[in-house]
Amino acid sequence: MKRIIVITLLSQLLVISTFSQKKSEAQNIVNKAMPSEQWLNEEWQAQWITHPNITGDEVGVYLFKKVLSLEAVPQEYVINISADNRYVFYINGTVVARGPARSDLNRWQFATLDIAPYLKEGENHIAAKVWNMADLKPTAQMSYITGLIIQGNTSKEKEINTDKSWRVVIDEAYSFYMIKHLRRFYVAGPGEKFSGELHPWDWKTSDKEIAWKQAKAGKNGMPTKYYSVTGKTDARVLHPRSIAMMDAKPQSFAKVRKSEGITDAEGLITGDAPVEIPANSTVKILLDQGHLTNAYPQLQYSKGAKSNIQITYAESLFIPKDGMPTFDKGNRDEVDGKVMWGNYDIILPDGGDDRLFEPLWWRCFRYVELEITTDDEPLALNAFNSEFTAYPLDLKANFKCDDPRLSDIFEVAWRTQRLCAGEVFFDCPYYEQLQYTGDTRIQGLNTAYASGDTVLWKDAIQDYYDSQLPFGLTQSRYPSSQQQIIAPFSLVWITMVHDYMMHCNDQAFIEKMIPTMLGILNWFDERVEENGMLGQLESWLFVDWVDQWKTGYPPLNEDKKYSSVIGMQYVYTIHKAMDIFESYGMSGLRQKWEQKANLTQQSIIDNCWDEDKQLLADTPDKDVFSQHANILAVLSHSFPAEKQKELMQRVVNNKEIAPASYYFDFYKVAALKQVGLGNLYFSGLSVLSDLIDNGFTTFPEKFDPSRSDCHAWSASPLFYYYASIAGIAPTESGFKRFEMRPSLGELDYIEGKMPLRDGFISFNLKKKGKSGIRGKVIVPNNLGGVFNWNGQSIELKSGENSIGL
């Protein structure tokens, strides 16, 4: 096992810990502000402002400005801010906030900030850079028209309100281009071309030589709870930001891996001395972050008029064939014999001193290549580093055992999850940055068990609720400017709501979800045929990336129906919904859907069970088989308990049936745990250990060759170390009571803690003899549970519990 993974993670944490304490304290003050009740219920006094010469639906970057004069610095100065598409907000040249948090037009989020720490006596330059990428925008970005809005929280801050007193100028330095050469689905946004000659460099702190125009004022802001006297709302309905601001922490590249045309480029990452690029030369520099990251690259440079700097970003380098990149990447640590292939930005320096380029949106990368061509003036590269960005998750859980491989896996899984959590959860940070239901279910559990943070999980459930279409299904990914339906993902959303109910005490929120759940179930019920099986289903029927399946579709019969995989997923989902109905006193609904589940379940068994193979086939034709159909049959309790266990043993041992991928392993482990084969989880972790040996610093989307090297649906060890190895699971909604049923497999001992809202469940357990166990479990106040081991039980109470069985 290579140790570079641990070393680079520790290096990252060390760099992060050097972040300015002063800035952190100011940011904490900024983030603690709350919006006035007035601006949650009444029309805002502030207006949406824009540039007077645009229609608002074109590509552009706009610089907004207002100067406030203060006789004294106030103790607090609270504002509410939003923009369309995005903004960076500055005070006196310092970045204060980025936003808005991604959402849809009916829940357009505004941030409430206390900007007092950034103000000073005298003139204060209040500035915002706002951009609209129009048709080039990321698919995850929704939009109406270009605009900025700032509302002072009280009468003391009304001078900052956006109206015609603000000024604006178009920043002609920016242009954008689609990234379309990667031959893979890429929708994370365009590349940026930045021409330094056209940029007003001092605009954030000075008004000299800038052709400002008076801002055009439009409609007043309208919050979620406000309607006009005739019931009208704005096209963007303002809603308070539901999540924290993103982390913003500086980090440095680990090393220079290659350089051409220059002998010493180390100063670029150490900052010890500028790297001089001679006139009329071409240079390439390949940098390695040491691990995958999400960050705003920051290149500081001087001189070099008429030079061209291209910055290309990649998760890994690619193995070429006939001079062209293939989709094979090999060992992710290796660079020799490989080529750079990725999205990129272009900088055209203007020849000035102390310039800084930072793209409008962050980039995902491990490797970054600078390709530089100079003209008649040398170029000085003063420094190149980046600012890490992600949802501010804190790792509060820990896990130790006698196999060091599990610690390495946990660290890589944690980085994977962190990089797939921003303003929303997303499937992958490089290619899509879209929040998909299948991924989100796993991510919600990952973050809850590793960090105790359930805010982004709840926000995701709300997003899918908001996405529901008139015919009943939720959208497969949301927020998204491009509508997509994956019918099985609507089922996944229901199971995610159930997960949230079991782990979080949030009854009113769950109850609000029930009508949408029924809309989904009714859509499927309408497609149940007379034989009890699901007939034809519209939409993309993605279940898993399986080599034997085309585009993730499970096998169907010749009439494109009767999938036992999706049918059993439907039954499994009904069982989860029934638990929710029962929790809310809806026994009639529970009985109704139990009958429907029993009908479809029995029909699938009658039509798809193969007696010779002792497996459930994927269709009634009984010519193809998969782990998936049988896993879902077990999770749906389709057979007696003893038969379920035997079935899962055949599933994991049969190499001829279609296997589950990294994603569907989540369900396979759940089925193994359910039938008492949780010890098998440990042996399956060798696949992830092998990935680390192959240079992966995050876990990928699918088996190699994988498009994405970072997919949080592969980070489920964050959940299963506690839910399977330690065996911790809630047995009553709201985690009011829990069970602990450890499955140590080949491990001799485990030690760790798992965060809950009222503290931690801590454990220190060691095998005793051939079949015993001893140790202790510490339980938070007001929580009880039961410890189960080999048919014996110990009641767990608040405080320290001794285990000896």
SS (H, E, C) 123-151: EEEEEEEEEECHHHCCCCCCCCCCEEEEE
pLDDT digits (tens, 9 = 90+) for 154-213: 999 999 999 999 999 999 999 999 999 999 999 999 999 999 999 999 999 998 889 999
Q: Mean per-residue pLDDT for 662-686?
A: 95
On whether the CB atoms of residues 616 and 567 are closer than 8 A, the answer is: no
Angle, helices 627-635/665-674, rounded to nearest 10 degrees: 50
pLDDT classification of 373: cutoffs 50, 70, 90 = very high
Sign of torsion, CA 411 734 780 747? Answer: negative
Q: For residues 619 and 612, what is the distance between their CA atoms, to the nearest angstrom?
A: 15
The pLDDT of residue 683: 84
Give the whole-number percent of the chain exceeding pLDDT 70. Answer: 96
pLDDT classification of 229: cutoffs 50, 70, 90 = confident
User: In this structure, what is the dihedral angle of CA atoms 147, 152, 155, 158, given to the nearest 10 degrees?
Assistant: -50
Q: Is the pLDDT of residue 22 over 80?
A: no
Q: Residue 440 in 3-state DSSP?
A: helix
pLDDT digits (tens, 9 = 90+) for 562-587: 999 999 999 999 999 999 999 999 99
The pLDDT of residue 758: 82
Q: For residues 431 and 707, what is the distance between their CA atoms, to the nearest angstrom?
A: 8
Q: Is the pLDDT of residue 801 over 50?
A: yes
pLDDT classification of 10: cutoffs 50, 70, 90 = very low
The pLDDT of residue 272: 85
Q: How far is CA 358 from CA 123, 316, 384, 733, in A?
A: 26, 22, 10, 46
The CA-CA-CA angle for residues 763, 455, 42, to 5°, reads 155
pLDDT digits (tens, 9 = 90+) for 685-705: 999 999 999 999 999 999 999
On whether the CB atoms of residues 240 and 110 are closer than 8 A, the answer is: yes
CB atoms within 10 A of CB 239: 20
- Strands (E) in 7-121, as ranges, are 47-50, 60-70, 78-84, 86-91, 94-99, 108-114
The pLDDT of residue 552: 96
The pLDDT of residue 682: 87
Q: Is the pLDDT of residue 431 over 50?
A: yes
The pLDDT of residue 18: 33
pLDDT classification of 12: cutoffs 50, 70, 90 = very low
Q: How far is CA 520 from CA 492, 497, 598, in A?
A: 11, 13, 18
pLDDT classification of 27: cutoffs 50, 70, 90 = low
The pLDDT of residue 368: 98
Nearest one of 255, 195, 314, 223 to 37, comparing CA atoms = 223
On whether the CB atoms of residues 646 and 630 are closer than 8 A, the answer is: no
Q: For residues 753 and 722, what is the distance between their CA atoms, to the nearest angstrom?
A: 9
HSE at residue 90, side-chain half, CA atoms within 13 A, is: 19
Q: Is the pLDDT of residue 19 over 50?
A: no
Q: Residue 239 in 3-state DSSP?
A: strand
- Strands (E) in 656-714, as ranges, are none
Q: Is the pLDDT of residue 711 over 80?
A: yes
Q: How far is CA 123 from CA 65, 92, 116, 205, 326, in A?
A: 12, 9, 14, 10, 56
Residues sharing a CB contact under 8 Å with residue 17, sequence separation 6 or more, in sequence order: none
Amino acid residing at 223: P
Residue 787 tokens read as 């410890």
85: preceding bond cis by omega (within 30 degrees): yes
Q: Is the pLDDT of residue 437 over 60?
A: yes
pLDDT classification of 684: cutoffs 50, 70, 90 = confident
Q: Mean per-residue pLDDT for 112-140?
A: 97
pLDDT digits (tens, 9 = 90+) for 271-319: 888 999 999 999 999 999 999 999 999 999 999 999 999 999 999 999 9
Q: Mean per-residue pLDDT for 755-762?
A: 93
| pTM of this structure | 0.94
Q: For residues 687 and 684, what is the distance between their CA atoms, to the nearest angstrom?
A: 6
Q: Mean per-residue pLDDT for 537-544?
A: 97
Lowest mean pLDDT among 46-55, 179-188, 222-231, 473-482: 222-231
Q: For residues 578 and 583, what is the distance between their CA atoms, to the nearest angstrom?
A: 9
On whether the CB atoms of residues 373 and 359 are closer than 8 A, the answer is: no
HSE at residue 589, side-chain half, CA atoms within 13 A, is: 19
Q: What is the mean pLDDT of the chain?
A: 94
Residues sharing a CB contact under 8 Å with residue 643, sequence separation 6 or more, in sequence order: none
pLDDT digits (tens, 9 = 90+) for 720-739: 999 999 999 999 999 999 99
Q: Mean per-residue pLDDT for 743-756?
A: 96
pLDDT digits (tens, 9 = 90+) for 305-359: 999 999 999 999 999 999 899 999 999 999 999 999 999 999 999 999 999 999 9
Residue 463 tokens read as 């997003």
Residues sharing a CB contact under 8 Å with residue 324, sequence separation 6 or more, in sequence order: none
Q: Is the pLDDT of residue 16 over 70?
A: no
Residues sharing a CB contact under 8 Å with residue 756, sequence separation 6 or more, in sequence order: 452, 735, 780, 783
pLDDT classification of 13: cutoffs 50, 70, 90 = very low
Long-range contacts of 513-517 (CB under 8 A, 24+ apart): 513/461, 513/465, 514/580, 514/581, 514/584, 514/586, 516/465, 516/468, 516/474, 517/577, 517/580
Q: Is the pLDDT of residue 29 over 60?
A: no
**How does DSSP assign 175-218, residue by residue?**
EEE----SSS---S--EEEEEGGGS-TTTTT--TT---EEPEEE
On whether the CB atoms of residues 671 and 722 are closer than 8 A, the answer is: no
The pLDDT of residue 28: 52
On whether the CB atoms of residues 664 and 627 are closer than 8 A, the answer is: yes
pLDDT digits (tens, 9 = 90+) for 489-523: 999 999 999 999 999 999 999 999 999 999 999 99
